[in-house]
Amino acid sequence: MTSGRLDVGELRARAEIDDVLAAFCSYLDEYRVAEAVAVFTEDCVTDYGPDAGGRVEGRAAFQDRVEASQARFVRTHHQLGQTTYRFEGDRARTVTYVTAWHEYPDGRQDTLWIRYADEFVRSSDGWRIAKREAYVSGVDGFPGVEWRFVPRRRPSPGA
């Protein structure tokens, strides 16, 4: 989130980051894994939760994890929702809401509602994701999988 007025540079950066996020999802849904992970830095750190490989360091290791996890599906669809932005020079922190639908070879389907908490860096190649943590808001399917859920406060007694 930003306080005050947006300048043209920040609007351009937001659009460029949105393009990176959209490219990742498009490539992932097409099982073009090398292109999907190319939007990350070489030394990226990702963590999709305990049953999704946990913390993974480096683009090559992330690619291996994505290839293995996505290979079990015949189709996926990642739909981006709202994104919030916080800029600090050539770095940005974003939180993006994602609906991720998955279909298995036997026709079974599972859906996740996720938040990508990303740290972007601007390089000569444009904006790249240096760090991603995924937090799950809801799950329909994926029995027996342990997820890292979005922290949620409990209501006050009597509320």
Give the pLDDT confidence score for residue 53 in this predicted structure: 77
pTM over 0.85: yes
Asked whether residue 120 is assigned to any structural domain, the reply reads: yes
Asked whether residue 151 is assigned to any structural domain, the reply reads: no
Asked whether residue 4 is assigned to any structural domain, the reply reads: no
With a CB cutoff of 8 Å and minimum separation 6, the contacts of 19 are none
Asked whether residue 72 is assigned to any structural domain, the reply reads: yes
Beta-strand (E) ranges in 11-108? 40-47, 55-57, 75-88, 91-103
What is the span of the domain harbouring residue 26? 9-140
Q: What is the mean pLDDT of the chain?
A: 94
- The full DSSP string for 4-18 is SPPPHHHHHHHHHHH
Q: Which helix (H) or strand (E) holds 65?
A: helix 59-70
Q: How many domains does the chain have?
A: 1
For the stretch 10-47, pLDDT in tens is 999 999 999 999 999 999 999 999 999 999 999 999 99
For the stretch 45-98, pLDDT in tens is 999 988 877 899 999 999 999 999 999 999 999 999 999 999 999 999 999 999
Rounded to an integer, the average pLDDT of 101-113 is 97
The CATH number of whichever domain residue 29 belongs to comes to 3.10.450.50
